[in-house]
């Protein structure tokens, strides 16, 4: 699972460089996210701009990452495409996650 991370102050932005988060990729996604969120910071933003398909396994993996972060760190989502956005809306997970239209501009810090 190809994920790229950059730190912007207290925000860790993780960009998913894959088109799909499905049953075949969910375990790899969770494992890679577990590695990346070890970095300190209060917020984690998942950039889903390149993801065009997300099934229930992928949704479960995103929820698992949210739980992994615990109550003191927040997982936010950004740049959801229409299909991915529909999955979050239909499952009402759009009420659980803070969802941004886009990743905020900002200069990354050295990782």
Sketch the domain layout of the chain as residue ranges.
3-100
Residue in this structure with the two tokens 């925000």, named with its chain if needed = 11
Q: How far apart are alpha carbons 27 and 30 in whole angstroms?
A: 5
Q: How far apart are alpha carbons 80 and 86 in whole angstroms?
A: 9
Nearest-5° angle of CA 91, CA 92, CA 94? 115
The model's confidence at residue 106, banded by pLDDT at 50, 70 and 90, is low
Q: What is the pLDDT of residues 38-92, one digit of tens each?
A: 876 779 999 999 999 999 999 999 999 999 998 889 999 999 999 999 999 999 9
Model confidence, pTM: 0.89
Structural tokens at position 41: 């910071």
**Protein fold of 3-100:** Transcription Regulator spoIIAA (3.30.750)
Q: Is 100 helix (H, G, I), strand (E, B) or coil?
A: strand
């Amino acid at each position: 699972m190809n994920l790229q991370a950059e730190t912007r102050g207290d925000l860790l932005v993780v960009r998913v460089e894959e088109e799909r988060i499905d049953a075949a990729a969910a375990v790899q996604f969770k494992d890679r996210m577990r590695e990346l969120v070890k970095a300190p910071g209060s917020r984690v933003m998942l950039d889903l701009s390149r993801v065009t398909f997300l099934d229930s396994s992928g949704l479960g993996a995103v929820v698992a990452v949210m739980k992994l972060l615990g109550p003191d760190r927040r997982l936010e989502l950004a740049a959801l495409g229409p299909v991915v956005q529909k999955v979050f809306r239909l499952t009402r997970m759009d009420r659980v996650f803070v969802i941004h239209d886009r990743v905020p501009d900002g200069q990354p810090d050295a990782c």
